[in-house]
Amino acid sequence: MNNWFNLSAAQTVKALSTNIEHGLTAAEASRRLEEVGQNQLSAVRKISPWRIFADQFTDFMVLVLIGAALVSGFLGEQEDALTILAIIILNALLGFFQEYRAEKSLEALKELTSPLAHVWRDGKPQRIPAKELVPGDIIALESGDRVPADGRIVAAINLEINEATLTGESMAVAKTEEVLSQTNPVLGDQRNMVFAGTVVTSGRGKAVVCATGMKTEIGKIAGMISQTEDEATPLQKRLEQLGRWLVVICLGVCAMVGTLGVLRGEPPRQMFMAAVSLAVAAIPEGLPAIVTIALAVGVQKMIKRKAIVRKLPAVETLGCATVICSDKTGTLTQNKLTVTKIWAGGREYLLKPESSPRNGVKLSFDIKRLLEIGALCNNAYLEENHQKKGRYQITGEPTEAAIVAVAAGYGITAQGLAKRLRREGEIPFSSERKRMGVWVKEAQEGRLLMVKGAADVILERSVHFLKGQSVIELTPELKSQIKAEIDRWGAEALRVLAFAYRLVEPGEIKERDPGDPERDLIFTGLMGMTDPPRPESGQAVIKAKRAGIQVKMITGDYPRTAAAIGKQISLLRPEGKIITGVELDRLSDAELTRVIGEIDIFARVSPHHKLRVVKALKQNGEVVAMTGDGVNDAPAVKESDIGVAMGISGTDVTKEASSMIIADDNFATIVAAVEEGRIIYDNIRKFIRYLLSCNIGEILTMFGGILLGLPFPLLPIQMLWVNLVTDGLPAIALGMDPAEPGVMSRPPRPSREGIFSRGLGWKIVLQGLLIGLATLGVYLIQLRDGQGLVLARTTAFTTLVFAQLCFVFQCRSERHSFLKNNPFQNLYLVGAVMISTLMQLTVVYLPWFQKIFDTGSLTERDWFLILFAVVSVAFCGDLAFRFRRVIRKHLAYFHWNTNRAVKAVVK
């Protein structure tokens, strides 16, 4: 059936065999899921394992190697051909396992970021993966939600939906549950229907699911599959560009080596093989792939720390973050609100947190009316806990749940009031209005409008005051007294809400367009709630500041409340300033940019202020991480360098605008993500340092031997083996390295920092020279001592491998000597080096491999020479590191003294 819009809500529910109040049972939903399939568009074909394996043989250098193997076979060198092919397959298997693992990691990541749906099952509201929805499910829709399936509206309160993804119309459409008389309306006119992929912009409602998956309107439109596109990080792009240049340079060097060898009288076939082998060993074709693997491994670590990365570039940017702008409620605080104070009739009442009900307490009329407003102007609800008989639980937003709890403690519930006070309609809360209203029908008084919201907003809209059973004028003196009470509670870090009501005339409030009736109110009272800081927030703020990251609080709460929390968690500096949304509006963009560094807390702000804050910080060159949860936070989240959405309280729209989702809504998780981002970037630099240094060493060994007129220091087959043994497992294991000590005790790196910054280029060249010179030196000594060409090559071959395997431990830190690093902190690396060592010993000592690789057994003298060369490389590298550090220290001291002298002269 496609004409659901011509049926009433009750007819639709009956046709789909469901229930508006209770929804489907879990068993029935499961049966329907089996019958109709999952609620998702036809899946994009994933890359199969076979495709990943086949792609290993499409690389340009691998194709060159295959060509070389074919040429060798054609020329009768069967053993060489088979060995080359075996090494190609081993390399392909290694690449396949790593890429397959990375692919699986990224698939799991997409699964984690898949949307959830609010659904009623077994009479209870639940959050389930949207793909598990079935026709007949009753779904709840709220502002900021992405509609998970096509459905017929059964209840709507000021519900408006942006359907631009389907109709192209940017204006939101007002929705209704009324039956349409048109027989075939276009999508834009189907005002009692909701469609998958569209976004709720305001209001709330309920709908019964009519179509899922490919049967939805969006499923019928080809090419509308909403998936995150794979995006290369800036570093990956720079490395790909670097790789192209290195390919050109290395091919030029290899061609030169081949030409010089032929001119010197070497056989052309042997020189062809040598040039090919050198090219394969020298070109770091694996750099971009290894960076992808490092990012995938890092993303998995971040998931374990409750940070879900939606866009890979965010991983790289995290290490550059200089400012974190965080919400207060639920992020810095626990979002476990408890009403501890009530103010009504001019008196304050202190509530003790106790489990026993207070039903027997006789209440004055003003307190009773305050609690009635709290219970009715509320979307949280009380229900019996089926697992614990006689106990009740509250489901809903934490602030509303706290109000329901305190009212229920005095025996006042929405269910209990239903006979006398029947709720008829709602004016939903929004972050701009800072209030919520409902109108109820009362048997004696007629129709009442009940309002709750931010204390200052409700107070400004009130003209009368309820004292006992009397309604009196709200005088300026009384207003000042209430404001003083609000400020005092705010200073105690209480979240303060005000409650008010008034009588409304029949027909004054129209359900479809209530207008702005929340005026001329009777101020009823206040509730003060405590929301303590998370235990880990203080340490996380201190950790962030130690890492050179500013932390700013952005909240809709009062300045004194925000200040109290800010002091408790060490966020508010002694000289730090607090600014309100009103004060922010008085500042021009230029003025805000100038003073924003002095401001620690932005209080009483609206979502549009967040966008101004982000732009001002970016104007000052800051790299900004901004948190958000509401739909109106999305522009600021998207504008920031690292948009952070809340996993629990965040809307779908904000999550889609974000770069990262914090699964537990915890500020400490954001700091942990920044730390992980720094670790990942450090490990990528370690990769680059290791691979390029080794490649320079290999080129220098071969090129230097030819320039000196010597026989090849290494045979082509030996060069290929070096490439397999050293560039494989050890390089990948380096990406598993844990954090260096002090990773969060140094300032953020500049966002435009180059790949070879901080002396990395010189370190690569120097270490490559040391490895190459040591290998050539060993080769020359063996030839000089008449050890024979086979043994000389075997010694040089083994020296090159072990110099690189030793060097991998030096690459674990750019800031500390490798002698100070415990190698057993990275057991993956120790294991990889041990496997590579066994592989090298196998080709040196086993007769069958000796024949293939043209090696000979090494004596004690040979091993002493190899050990001396490897230790010399490590010692000289460490000496150069220490010398450079001393020079930098003295230059910094000289610079500091010069600055002091200049300042003294100026003064």
Type of residue found at 751? S
* Rounded distance between C-alpha atoms, residue 762 and residue 19, angstroms: 72
- Three-class DSSP category at 647: coil
Q: How crowded is the C-beta side of 636, counted as CA atoms within 13 Å?
A: 29
Q: Residue 187 CA to chain centroid, in angstroms?
A: 35
* Rounded distance between C-alpha atoms, residue 402 and residue 301, angstroms: 36
Tokens 């408890």 correspond to 338
Type of residue found at 834? M
* Rounded distance between C-alpha atoms, residue 687 and residue 732, angstroms: 8
Which pair of tokens denotes residue 62?
């691998």
Beta 599-603 vs 577-580: how paired, if at all?
parallel
CA nearest to 739, candidates 653, 668, 815, 805: 815
Residue 442, burial from CB neighbour count under 10 angstroms (0-12, 13-18, 19+): middle
* Rounded distance between C-alpha atoms, residue 855 and residue 790, angstroms: 6
Please report which residue ranges of 454-499 form alpha helices under DSSP H.
455-460, 476-491
The residues, any chain, with a CB within 8 Å of residue 167's CB and separated by 6 or more, are 186, 187, 188
Q: Crossing angle of helices 667-707/268-282, nearest 10°?
A: 160
The helix (H) or strand (E) run that includes residue 661 is strand 660-662
453: which strand partners? 435, 498
- Three-class DSSP category at 89: helix
Which pair of tokens denotes residue 817?
């000597």
Catalytic residue from among 327, 366, 641, 854: 327
Residue 681, burial from CB neighbour count under 10 angstroms (0-12, 13-18, 19+): buried
- Three-class DSSP category at 151: strand
Of the chain, the end-to-end C-alpha distance in Å amounts to 86
CA nearest to 318, candidates 741, 747, 624: 624
- Three-class DSSP category at 2: coil
How does DSSP classify residue 146? Answer: B
- Three-class DSSP category at 333: strand
Length of the chain: 907
624: which strand partners? 323
Reply yes or no on whether 557 is catalytic: no
138: which strand partners? 120, 208
Q: Are the C-beta atoms of residues 325 and 554 closer than 8 Å to each other? A: yes
Residue 96, burial from CB neighbour count under 10 angstroms (0-12, 13-18, 19+): middle
Which pair of tokens denotes residue 145?
């939600």
Q: Which residues carry out catalysis?
A: 327
